[in-house]
């Protein structure tokens, strides 16, 4: 015969005695549970960004993507003397690099814009103009824009930015995530990965349930009944087992660490070990899958991947080329299409300054600087002013070229000029008579 009981731990002895005297077992369970946050049922269905951002891997991946892209200056360049250089005199330069609108600086706008692209599927920026020139770029709030694909118009009802009405496509910068309808609208990464997000959220919720119930021992009290023993007076009846269960529960509630039970009584704990339930393994693989959907290496989300320096370096290169660069190109293309008129599209362009992506440790930067200066790719002042934010020096604008190399058709390579060291000048020999 088996009876089920709940045993509570974790209170002081005085509190336990008082609570045990005043409350029944059911009342005590209710009092404890009332102090704990309510938990959703199982399984959890993740289908929006508010739920997804509660997962550490999803939050970290979103933070890495948005923060990295926002840290790259988005600037307008003008073609002059055959190459493009930043056009600091253009009004768009200040808008893109400082204050796109009165409520956001450039970093915040780009960061939130990328968050919307990744987790909402679409980001909408209203282009405000004065006298034909761009005056503001306003990022619309979540779920305030509806796109009419048939008529190519946008219906906006944004009370936060006080934007209402119907807008033509040239008035809106529409940034999209990967699409399923031919490129008209983007789909949220959360929608793509809803299954794995739900698994990860359910595992986290189960872990929380396990820890919250860690102060409560659940089990069965069992003992052989008299009829099964075959001997008069042997075994225990149901009433006796119930009495023993009450005694065990009372002793546990008083804070005793060691309790005594009759020899015929056995206790079987019902609590599930998280390791036995493979929750940790489920959580581990969920993190890896979330990273795959976002295109972020597990090293960046502190997943505890064992790797060497070379593998980490290659993962960084893959992150730049496979994940970041497509997003950057997507944003640049839309900004150029909506902010640069076709008549001057060959003179102006908007792009991210990618040099910040390639900043590594001091030794690597020094080696890169040495090579660029040695082979005439950059001058000393270009490195000092553009890369190190230092004042130029006299003679620093001269480009250098290593003497160890020469064009393949040069006289030196053909052997017309000796590469050996100059010999001492010969003196005129005079005959001695």
Averaged pLDDT, 74-92: 90
Beta-sheet strand order (sheet of 172-176): 133-139, 122-130, 172-176
Q: What is the DSSP string of 261-316?
A: --TTEEEEE-PPPTTTTTHHHHHHHHHHHHHHHHT--GGGGT------HHHHHHHH
Q: Which residues contact 300 (CB under 8 A, 6 or more apart)?
A: 60, 61, 64, 319
CA Rg value for the chain: 36
195-209 pLDDT tens trace: 877 877 777 666 666
Instruction: Tell me 35's DSSP state.
Output: T
Residue 356: pLDDT over 90: no
State how far the Cα of 274 lies from the Cα of 203, in Å rounded to an integer: 10
Please give the C-alpha separations between residue 287 and each of 64, 211, 282, 301, in angstroms, as whole numbers: 15, 21, 9, 9
Which of helix, strand or coil describes residue 332?
Answer: helix
Residue with the bigger pLDDT between 194 and 335: it is 335
* Range among 73-77, 368-372, 382-386 rated most confident: 73-77
Mean pLDDT (the chain) is 76
Range 234-238 average pLDDT: 63
Higher pLDDT, 428 or 1: 428
For the chain, which residues make up each domain, given as ranges?
A: 361-418
The pTM of this model reads 0.68
Which pLDDT tens digit goes with each residue over 132-162? Answer: 899 999 999 999 999 999 999 999 999 999 9
Please, which residues have CB within 8 angstroms of residue 261's CB and are 6 or more apart in sequence? 244, 248, 267
Q: Reply yes or no on whether the pLDDT at 424 is more than 60.
A: no
**Is 414 a residue whose pLDDT tops 70?**
no
Higher pLDDT among residues 239 and 87, named by residue: 87
CA distances for 310 relative to 237, 307, 315, 365, angstroms: 70, 8, 9, 17
Rounded to whole angstroms, the Cα distance separating 404 from 194 reads 59
CA distance 241 to 235: 10
- Phi, psi for 259 (deg, rounded to 5): -125, 160
Q: Quick check: 341 pLDDT over 50? A: yes
């Amino acid at each position: 015969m088996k009876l089920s009981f709940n045993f509570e731990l974790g209170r002081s002895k005085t509190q336990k005695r008082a609570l045990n005297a005043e409350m029944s077992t059911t009342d005590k369970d209710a009092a404890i549970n009332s102090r704990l946050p309510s938990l959703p049922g199982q399984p959890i269905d993740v289908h929006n960004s508010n739920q997804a951002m509660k997962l550490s891997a999803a939050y970290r991946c979103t933070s890495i993507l948005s923060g990295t892209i926002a840290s790259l200056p988005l600037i307008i360049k003008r073609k002059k003397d055959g190459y493009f250089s930043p056009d600091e005199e253009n009004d768009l330069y200040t808008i893109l690099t400082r204050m796109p609108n009165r409520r956001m600086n450039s970093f915040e706008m780009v960061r939130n814009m990328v968050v919307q692209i990744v987790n909402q599927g679409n980001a909408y920026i209203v282009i405000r103009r004065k006298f034909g020139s761009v005056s503001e770029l306003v990022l619309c709030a979540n779920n305030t824009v509806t796109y009419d694909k048939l008529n190519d118009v946008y219906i906006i009802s944004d009370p936060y930015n006080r934007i209402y009405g119907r807008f033509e496509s040239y008035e809106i910068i529409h940034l999209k995530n990967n699409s399923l309808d031919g490129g008209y609208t983007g789909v949220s990464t959360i929608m793509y990965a809803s299954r794995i997000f739900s698994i990860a959220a359910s595992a986290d919720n189960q872990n929380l349930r396990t820890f919250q119930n860690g102060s409560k021992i659940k089990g069965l009290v069992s003992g052989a009944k008299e009829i099964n023993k075959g001997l008069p007076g042997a075994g225990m009846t149901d009433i006796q087992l119930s009495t023993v269960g009450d005694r065990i529960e009372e002793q546990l509630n008083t804070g005793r660490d060691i309790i005594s039970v009759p020899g015929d009584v056995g206790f079987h704990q019902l609590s599930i070990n998280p390791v036995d339930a493979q929750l940790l393994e489920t959580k581990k693989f969920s993190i890896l899958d979330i990273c795959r959907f976002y295109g972020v290496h597990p090293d960046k989300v502190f997943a505890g991947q064992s790797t060497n320096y070379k593998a980490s370096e290659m993962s960084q290169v893959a992150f730049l080329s496979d994940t970041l660069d497509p997003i950057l190109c997507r944003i640049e293309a839309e900004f150029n299409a909506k902010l640069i008129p076709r008549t001057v599209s060959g003179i102006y362009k908007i792009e991210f300054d990618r040099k910040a992506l390639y900043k590594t440790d001091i030794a690597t930067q020094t080696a890169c600087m040495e090579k660029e200066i040695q082979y005439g790719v950059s001058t000393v002042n270009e490195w000092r002013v553009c890369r190190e934010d230092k004042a130029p020096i006299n003679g620093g604008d001269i480009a250098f070229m290593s003497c160890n190399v020469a064009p393949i058709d040069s006289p030196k390579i053909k052997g017309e000029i000796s590469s050996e060291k100059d010999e001492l000048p010969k003196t005129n020999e005079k005959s001695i008579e």
